[in-house]
Amino acid sequence: MPSAISNKSNTSDSDELDLGRLIGELIDHRYLIVGVTSFFTVLAMIYSLFATPIYQSDALIQVEQKQGNAILDSLSQVLPDTQPQSAPEIALLQSRMILGKTVSDLNLQAVVSQKYFPIFGRGWARLIGDKPGEVSVSRLYLPRSEDKTEAQILLTVIDENHYRIEGDNDLVIEGETGKILEKNGITLLVDKVNAQPGTAFVIQYDTQLEAIADLQSVFSVTDQGKNTGMLNLALSGDNPELISKILNSITQNYLEQNIARQAAQNAKSLDFLQEQLPKVRSSLDSAEDKLNEYRRQKDSVDLSMEAKSVLDQIVNADNQLNQLTFREAEISQLYTKEHPTYKALMEKRQTLQAEKERLNKRVSVMPATQQEVLRLSRDVESGRAVYMQLLNRQQELNIAKSSAIGNVRIIDSAVTEPRAVKPKKTIVILLGIILGGVVSIGAVLFRVLLRRGVETAEQLEELGINVYASIPVSLWLQQKNIGNSKKAINKNKTIKPNFLAIENPADLAIEAIRGLRTSLHFAMMEASNNVLMISGASPDAGKTFVSSNLAAIIAQTGQKVLFIDADMRKGYAHKLFGFANNLNGLSDILSGKAKADDVLNHIPSVGFDFIARGQVPPNPAELLMHQRFNEMIEWASQHYDLVIVDTPPVLAVTDAAIIGRYAGTTLLVVRFEENTVKEIEVSMKRFEQSGVNVKGCILNGMVKKASSYYGYGYSNYDYNYTETKGK
């Protein structure tokens, strides 16, 4: 027997989603997309309304270039910048030294916050215009046990001068504003209370490191431009007055430490000079004493004009050598000994050394008395010059220390913007809309990717399977919330079943079944008998709906039709026609308990005869393989123009494969978007292995979708026979 899918086309089944189908899916799920997007938008609006406004305070300071030696200044202009000049100052501003002093000065370890209803309380109070209360705490210490990460108490306002504290272990203490409260390890000084009686405040005591870390998280310093020395300071918080106060304290502390650092350098140099001046003065006095003593011994020997000239030259050479020694110490930090600048300095030193040796030779030829006087005079002059230099430097340092201003200047003091910087309501709402759209569209596309059900007849025709009809979902049944499906009947057992072919014969689903009737007329011409078996791949495909309504439509043409419910396990056709569950039927015939004439029921409303499933047997497959089933089929084929057999799903049980051998025509019902192409292929192979030739499929439950229109060009079911009003 030839296979029903032997003429499968060579067209490859692609899983790619074309753009038209995606657009159609988005149109089909437009209500879901709009709903989810609206939900996220409403959440964003609620957040914008109830979120606590965050303000920002800004300040501007200038860090001037430090005055250094000329060599370093000129060199910094030539060498590439390895680090911005403002980087150390930014790190210093954010250091624990500066912020820690601010925390201590403003007592930021004591965190006082009014207690509101969780999440929405503070925002609601702000919206209705409730002014927040204020409690000023200048001193606070709360004991913290090892098993607790936070130390906090609850303060409730009694009146302007009294309050009540509640803590752990049922601690309740009453206090008075302006007086220190010390009890149970708690130290608290409340300076002022400005709140309504009954208002509650949570007072939390943070460690200094925690307070500094909290301050660092909301404090930022940025460089206004490269090497401009202009630094922008910003601090954010929910209290505009407090953040301005904190930022001003930070800038002032930074300025004070800068001045103190400059003064400390001068003070250190001054201490060194004050330590060296007595030593230099003592050396100078000793040299003068030796010179005077020698002159007394030699009766006031004075230097000649030549000796004085040599003395001046020697002293001058010593001073220059001392200056070169300081200069060499500076240059050695910048250049190597091979650098031309370093070589020039060494050459000048050698020249001065040679000049000094020449002068010493001139002294050596003088008389001994002149040489000794010259030596002693040189020590006195050199010591006096050093001493005078130290005195001058001491005066300079005293002046610098007294007038130290540092290299930092506050340009703009802290000012808080009147408008909140967070949340930005427009941006938040736009983000809510975008996020809602992304989530909803993503969910739709994810659903599409996971969906593998049959959506068009073309998908089946590509497998070489003939599609005899595409039956749409009945809008009439959906609007009335009724139906003759298994789910609808089992859901409410008291509901009266409605037979669509009788109740609404102009329904689009019935029109599609009329088209199936026409197709079957030609398909069954070459069949071995007039028995039509209708099966499905899985439960709830709509086999009973299609077969029963098809029987009714064919019966309306005057043909004698017999409808057999062969699903002896879960058949429900008897409920569809209003019969009881204990109605005798097919199982009773096959078990030999009754004859076909005894269980035959005529349905006057639809015009065909009906055999129910009967009592549920324990072995339906074995009963179908009995000779009695063959005899019953032959009897039905002889007495009726058409016999329609409704069977169980082929993938669930083997009943359909057994019944198919007795049927001249077999059709498979495929549920729209529920049965996959793979299920249909397996079902067709299952029938083929049993020797049953499946003529084709019926695509049931088609839904009018934009994705089908855009993706496959499939026509919509918009045509009907209902007359419009006024015509």
pLDDT tens digits, 426-453? 999 999 999 999 999 998 888 877 777 8
For the chain, the domain total comes to 4
Spatial distance between the Cα atoms of 184 and 85, rounded to a whole number of angstroms: 52
Identify whether 397 is part of a domain.
yes
Three-class SS of residue 610? Answer: strand
Spatial distance between the Cα atoms of 244 and 386, rounded to a whole number of angstroms: 53
Spatial distance between the Cα atoms of 483 and 501, rounded to a whole number of angstroms: 12
pLDDT at 640: 93
The H or E element spanning position 87 is helix 87-93
Do 690 and 591 share a structural domain?
A: yes
pLDDT at 720: 46
pLDDT at 371: 65
**For residues 222-229, average pLDDT:** 80
Query: Of 646, 397, 444, which Cα lies nearest the Cα of 30?
Result: 444
Do 644 and 589 share a structural domain?
A: yes
Spatial distance between the Cα atoms of 636 and 638, rounded to a whole number of angstroms: 5
Long-range CB pairs of 373-378 (<8 Å, 24+ gap) are 373/291, 373/294, 373/295, 373/298, 373/301, 373/302, 373/303, 373/307, 374/303, 374/307, 374/310, 374/311, 376/287, 376/290, 376/291, 376/294, 377/291, 377/303, 377/311, 378/311, 378/314, 378/315, 378/318
pLDDT at 701: 85
Q: Tell me how far apart the 2 most distant CA atoms of the chain are, in Å.
A: 171
Identify whether 63 is part of a domain.
no
Three-class SS of residue 580? Answer: coil
Do 515 and 398 share a structural domain?
A: no
Does residue 475 surpass a pLDDT of 90?
no
Q: How far, CA to CA in Å, does 51 sit from each of 54, 122, 200, 240? A: 9, 8, 21, 16
Note the pLDDT tens digit of each residue in 309-363: 766 777 777 777 766 775 776 677 677 788 888 888 888 888 888 877 777 776 6
Is omega for the bond preceding 423 within 30 degrees of 0, making it cis?
yes
Most confident of 40-44, 142-146, 305-309, 503-507: 40-44
| DSSP calls for 531-546 | EEEEEESSTTS-HHHH
Spatial distance between the Cα atoms of 375 and 362, rounded to a whole number of angstroms: 13
pLDDT category at 483 given cuts 50, 70, 90 is very low
Spatial distance between the Cα atoms of 254 and 651, rounded to a whole number of angstroms: 82
pLDDT at 75: 42
Three-class SS of residue 203? Answer: strand
Do 427 and 388 share a structural domain?
A: no
What CATH number has the domain bearing residue 578?
3.40.50.300
Do 39 and 726 contact (CB within 8 A), yes or no?
A: no
pLDDT at 713: 43
Three-class SS of residue 416? Answer: strand
As a whole number of Å, the CA-based R_g of the chain is 53
Do 513 and 375 share a structural domain?
A: no
Do 104 and 45 share a structural domain?
A: no
What percentage of the chain exceeds 90 in pLDDT?
A: 22
pLDDT category at 707 given cuts 50, 70, 90 is low
**For residues 641-664, average pLDDT:** 91
pLDDT category at 82 given cuts 50, 70, 90 is very low
Note the pLDDT tens digit of each residue in 119-164: 878 888 888 888 888 888 888 888 876 655 668 889 999 988 899 9
**For residues 66-82, average pLDDT:** 45
pLDDT at 522: 82
Identify whether 253 is part of a domain.
no
Do 197 and 159 contact (CB within 8 A), yes or no?
A: yes
Do 622 and 566 share a structural domain?
A: yes
Spatial distance between the Cα atoms of 140 and 727, rounded to a whole number of angstroms: 88
Spatial distance between the Cα atoms of 479 and 502, rounded to a whole number of angstroms: 17
**For residues 65-80, average pLDDT:** 47
Does residue 487 surpass a pLDDT of 60?
no
Identify whether 493 is part of a domain.
no
Judged by average pLDDT, the poorest of 231-235, 267-271, 564-568 is: 267-271
pLDDT category at 573 given cuts 50, 70, 90 is confident
Identify whether 590 is part of a domain.
yes
Q: How far, CA to CA in Å, does 20 sit from each of 17, 449, 712? A: 8, 15, 9
Mean pLDDT of the chain: 80
Do 470 and 436 share a structural domain?
A: no
Note the pLDDT tens digit of each residue in 378-393: 777 777 777 777 777 7
The H or E element spanning position 375 is helix 368-402
Note the pLDDT tens digit of each residue in 508-546: 888 899 988 988 888 888 888 999 999 998 888 888 889
Mark out the alpha helices in 107-239 (DSSP H runs): 121-127, 208-218
pTM for the model stands at: 0.60
What percentage of the chain exceeds 70 in pLDDT?
A: 80
Do 201 and 81 contact (CB within 8 A), yes or no?
A: no
pLDDT at 72: 42
- Please provide the size of the chain in residues: 727
pLDDT category at 184 given cuts 50, 70, 90 is confident
pLDDT category at 674 given cuts 50, 70, 90 is confident
Q: Higher model confidence: residue 653 or residue 322? A: 653
Q: What is the DSSP letter of 337?
A: T
pLDDT at 142: 85
Sequence-distant (≥ 6) Cβ neighbours of residue 670 within 8 angstroms: 454, 460, 536, 537, 541, 680, 697, 698, 699, 700
Spatial distance between the Cα atoms of 645 and 636, rounded to a whole number of angstroms: 11
pLDDT category at 502 given cuts 50, 70, 90 is confident
- Angle value at C-alpha 121, between 120 and 122, nearest 5 degrees: 100
Identify whether 57 is part of a domain.
no
pLDDT at 571: 85
Do 400 and 288 share a structural domain?
A: yes
Does residue 225 surpass a pLDDT of 90?
no
CA 9 distance to own-chain centroid: 48
Does residue 710 surpass a pLDDT of 90?
no
Do 223 and 302 share a structural domain?
A: no
pLDDT category at 496 given cuts 50, 70, 90 is very low
Do 305 and 181 share a structural domain?
A: no
Identify whether 496 is part of a domain.
no
Do 255 and 59 contact (CB within 8 A), yes or no?
A: no
Query: Of 119, 116, 149, which Cα lies nearest the Cα of 133?
Result: 116
pLDDT at 302: 58
pLDDT at 212: 94
* Buried-state track 700-717, b at ≥16 Cβ within 10 A, e below 16: bbbebbbbbbbbbebeeb
Q: State which residues form the domain around 175.
A: 91-235
**For residues 263-271, average pLDDT:** 67
pLDDT category at 57 given cuts 50, 70, 90 is very high
Do 436 and 313 share a structural domain?
A: no
- Angle value at C-alpha 442, between 438 and 445, nearest 5 degrees: 145
Identify whether 117 is part of a domain.
yes
Spatial distance between the Cα atoms of 104 and 211, rounded to a whole number of angstroms: 10
Does residue 244 surpass a pLDDT of 90?
yes
User: Within 10 Å of residue 152's Cβ, how many Cβ atoms?
Assistant: 17
Query: Of 459, 627, 472, 484, which Cα lies nearest the Cα of 545?
Result: 484
